Structure 1
Amino acid sequence: MTAPSTSPAAGRGGRWIDEWDPEDETFWRETGEEIANRNLFFSVLSEHIGFSIWTLWSVLVLFMGPEYGLTPADKFLLTSMVTLVGAVVRVPYTFAVALFGGRNWTIVSAGLLLVPSVAAFVVMEPGTSFSTFLLVGMLAGIGGGNFASSMTNINAFFPLRKKGWALGLNAGGGNIGVPVIQLVALAIIGASGGPRVLLGIYIPLIVVAATLGALYMDNLSKVKNDTGAAIDAAKDAHTWIMSFLYVGTFGSFIGYSFAFGQVLQNQFGRTPLQAAYLTFIGPLLGSLIRPVGGWLADRYGGARITLWNFVAMAAATGVVVLASVQKSLPLFTVAFVALFVLTGLGNGSTYKMIPGIFQAKAVAMGLRGEAAAAHGRRLSGASMGLIGAVGALGGVAINLAFRQSFLSYGSGTGAFVAFLAFYAVCFAVTWAVYLRRPVGAAERDEAASEVNPQLSYAEV
């Protein structure tokens, strides 16, 4: 195979690769790896800025003092709606990769980020109505869609043995857009700057990301024109089971990212600057460890890592509840940051499970070699967008739970108790579907195990 052509081919403009076989080790070593890594790098850049814009309002609400006339409940509702839009748009963004090509959609999706950024720049001042803030905030939700299209695109570039690390790196690099925008906001608040300074920094960065995607990324012909894959993925029960588990991992990550600063302000009386000093730590560590979660899943099996990660998340949440009841800010902060780290670890392990599950199903169907790999790539790539969309809805639920908890009890303790119970359910589902061995399984030999594909899921 030759390097990707940058001239129009078969009536298509832009950079297209017609032959792509990452499972062929010779092809991967000589050609594929360099191209895949280049696309991964620029995909991370675009997705990173997308995450920053999506979580923009978790930062902007810290700037919105009494002069803006918003109650804590108003702010939680605002961030909930931003999260909701980010979840919903992940579905069409997944289809967009198959319709337009991964590179082409990266350019478009990056450029679209200018809309919420410029709109926020215009309205961000006291006297603006809550409904206007709500509408403009919801526009920022389109930044959440970049994750779905980026993961679907990058999934097609890498061989199965590399997917855990590659997808973890791609998602982790995107997730880190959350703490980065919080750090930038901290610097601006510390320098007595306003929210428009923050927006003025990000608007040109959006243009840079779109331009670099156009110059250095590629489209894969095999991914284009396969919108039916999403329909097939939606019919598979594992897509929805993994969506549920991803609510527990990524839903927690994005929900806590939006809510952490507000909890610190409303429950512990922190000022915006004091809250900003702490809010970035959890998302930063949770983002950095996501590739480690993928690597551990590559090595030990995603189902096993995910199972025990939910145990640890429940334990950390129990400590958060204790700290909340005792009103201990140091213990609360340490436990909450630990919970962030575990959400990142689980994000990596759950996403590694997805291609492994569909590969195992392909083998159970009798497919072998490239046929099995192609079937697995097709369905796993399509399912990732759907799973990412449903998972992000967990962030909506978390912010609404905090809103109700503060309205009812004046603290977030009630919400944390609900989260702890949910993680217990996630543990049970992971064990029952992917790790529970049927009666007599220990006595079956390897050949017989192929009759029951559930046995192979422990290795995904």
Structure 2
Amino acid sequence: MTAPTTASEAPEAPGALDGSEALHGSGASGRGRWIEHWDPEDEGFWERTGRRVARRNLVLSVVSEHIGFSVWSMFSVLALFMGPEYGIDPAGKFFLVAVASLVGAALRVPYGFAVARFGGRNWTVVSAAMLLAPTTALLVVMEPGTSYTTFMLVAVLTGVGGANFASSMTNINSFYPLRLKGWALGMNAGGGNIGVAVVQLAGLLTIAVAGAAQPRLLVAAYLPLIVVATVLSARHMDNLSPVRNDTGAAREAARDRHTWIMSFLYIGTFGSFIGYSFAFGLVLQSQFGRTPLQAASLTFIGPLLGSLVRPVGGRLADRLGGARVTLWNFGAMTGAAGIVVAASMRESLPLFIAGFVVLFVLTGLGNGSAFKMVPGIFRARAREAGLTGEAAAVRARRLSGASMALIGAVGGFGGVGINMALRQSFIESGTGTGAFAVFLGYYVVCAVVTWVVYMRRGVGGVRGAGV
């Protein structure tokens, strides 16, 4: 898969590649930071150079993805600033955040495949720089009198922030060995997911210090952060040549039924996380009559905890098996959703918050365990195809990376469903009770699917593969 070397592709002088120069052979472009050889399953290679390079790329991936999530969820925070003078009712606000969620989910497909086409480092630079577009647009339009159509168009732009997740996860998946993928993917995703909580905390700080009439202060703070993330990615990240231009992996992953089964399960975990993150503050305002400051003081708690425990879910899956942890998690999510339904019916704010916070924590655990399942599934599928050793590892890496792009996209659509269901529930009854009951039913179905497909009989050698 390596491209032929030309005279213009000679490596830079030693020391120019921040410790990874040993990985850039004569067929690599030092200027473009392409790594020609990458074998994380080789423990000797991993200990000598792989771990250090992978960690550096992971950290910088988290930085860009974190800011992307903050931009993606910006409207869920700005909605708290949009008082009566904006002329937008609760249903209209739910629709705005649903549009942002929809676009972010849809763009995850091309973003995930862009890593193989352009390189992980190169696409991280591009995707980070693209965050300047929605942020600048928000800085211009955030004021009373702006038309709803204009807000809708800007909500479309914010979707690019959610798409960063797919390319980031696909890229980092290729850097780490199977035995560490649960932890690595959990750290990458958790560090990104926490961008939701951080922008909500920043919104709370802005309202507390400057008041609800100054949303531009929140938006403006992100412009220099985006520039810094773009520059750091350009200077210190790497591309992996072994995963370049592998468009066939996308077609193979799309044909495998496990891509779509895992997508269904990921709607229940990540779809819930991002959907609730976008909707929680609006529900507190619309159903429980909280002020913008009161709502902002509560909304960040759930996303913060859900993000922090995502690596824990990955680590538990590394040790206990992803399918087992995911099954237990869906059972617990069913119970937490039951508490939310009861609290909504009784209009008990303390019980509602308690149930929602537990639900957020469980979505984080489930996100980590579900994504850990994917590499193991495709490693088992490679064995079923008669492959062993490095050949099996390479096939598993390429298919699991492509599959993650699709799974992440479908999971993002779950956030759209949650906000649209809540919008309809508020239109019909003035509360979210009906929608919460639907979510509970979905978790029951997810638990059944996990047990039937991955626990009761397994898939080939999947269970032995750590799934």
Rounded to whole Å, the distance in 1 between the matches of 2:143 and 2:416 is 25
Aligned counterpart, 2:399:
379
Aligned counterpart, 1:322:
342
Q: Which amino acid aligns with 1:49?
A: I
Q: 1:108 aligns with which of 120, 126, 133?
A: 126
Compared with structure 1, are the counterparts of its residues 26 and 245 closer, same or farther at alpha carbon in structure 2 (3 Å cutoff)? same
Task: Return the offset for 1:341.
Answer: 0.2
Aligned counterpart, 2:9:
none
Contact 1:229 1:379 in 2 (8 A): yes
Aligned counterpart, 1:201:
221
Query: Which SS does the other structure have where 1:125 is aligned?
Result: coil
Q: Which amino acid aligns with 1:32?
A: G
Aligned counterpart, 1:190:
208
| 2:126 maps to 1:98 | no
Q: Which amino acid aligns with 2:426?
A: F
Rounded to whole Å, the distance in 2 between the matches of 1:458 and 1:245 is 19
Rounded to whole Å, the distance in 2 between the matches of 1:2 and 1:370 is 22
Query: Which SS does the other structure have where 1:26 is aligned?
Result: helix
| 2:268 maps to 1:261 | no
Instruction: Show structure 1 runs of 5+ residues with no match.
Output: 439-451
Q: Which amino acid aligns with 1:42?
A: L
| 2:377 maps to 1:332 | no
Return structure 1 stretches of 4+ with deviation > 2 angstroms.
1-13, 454-459
Aligned counterpart, 2:89:
71
Task: Return the offset for 1:381.
Answer: 0.5
Equivalent residues in 2 for 1:209-228 (5 A)? 209-228=229-248
Rounded to whole Å, the distance in 1 between the matches of 2:237 and 2:63 is 12
Aligned counterpart, 2:315:
295
Q: What TM-score, normalized to structure 1?
A: 0.95
Contact 1:72 1:266 in 2 (8 A): yes
Contact 1:97 1:152 in 2 (8 A): yes
Q: Which amino acid aligns with 2:178?
A: L
Query: Which SS does the other structure have where 2:41 is aligned?
Result: coil
Contact 1:357 1:457 in 2 (8 A): no
Contact 1:309 1:346 in 2 (8 A): yes
Task: Return the offset for 1:454.
Answer: 5.7
Aligned counterpart, 1:154:
172
Query: Which SS does the other structure have where 1:296 is aligned?
Result: helix
Aligned counterpart, 2:3:
none
Task: Return the offset for 1:10.
Answer: 6.0
RMSD: 1.6
Compared with structure 1, are the counterparts of its residues 268 and 390 closer, same or farther at alpha carbon in structure 2 (3 Å cutoff)? same
Task: Return the offset for 1:138.
Answer: 1.1
Rounded to whole Å, the distance in 1 between the matches of 2:68 and 2:218 is 15
Q: Which amino acid aligns with 1:333?
A: I
Rounded to whole Å, the distance in 2 between the matches of 1:142 and 1:263 is 25
Q: 2:163 aligns with which of 132, 145, 148?
A: 145
Q: Which amino acid aligns with 1:158?
A: Y
Instruction: Show structure 2 runs of 5+ residues with no match.
Output: 1-18
Rounded to whole Å, the distance in 1 between the matches of 2:462 and 2:54 is 32
| 2:33 maps to 1:15 | yes
| 2:154 maps to 1:136 | yes
| 2:460 maps to 1:453 | yes
Query: Which SS does the other structure have where 1:21 is aligned?
Result: coil
Compared with structure 1, are the counterparts of its residues 158 and 418 closer, same or farther at alpha carbon in structure 2 (3 Å cutoff)? same
- Offset from partner CA, 1:245-285 (integer Å, 9 cap, x none): 00000000000000000000000000000000000000000
Rounded to whole Å, the distance in 2 between the matches of 1:30 and 1:271 is 55
| 2:447 maps to 1:427 | yes
Counting matched residue pairs gives 447
Q: What TM-score, normalized to structure 2?
A: 0.93
| Percent pairwise identity | 67
Rounded to whole Å, the distance in 1 between the matches of 2:59 and 2:398 is 22
Q: Which amino acid aligns with 1:420?
A: L
Rounded to whole Å, the distance in 2 between the matches of 1:290 and 1:18 is 31
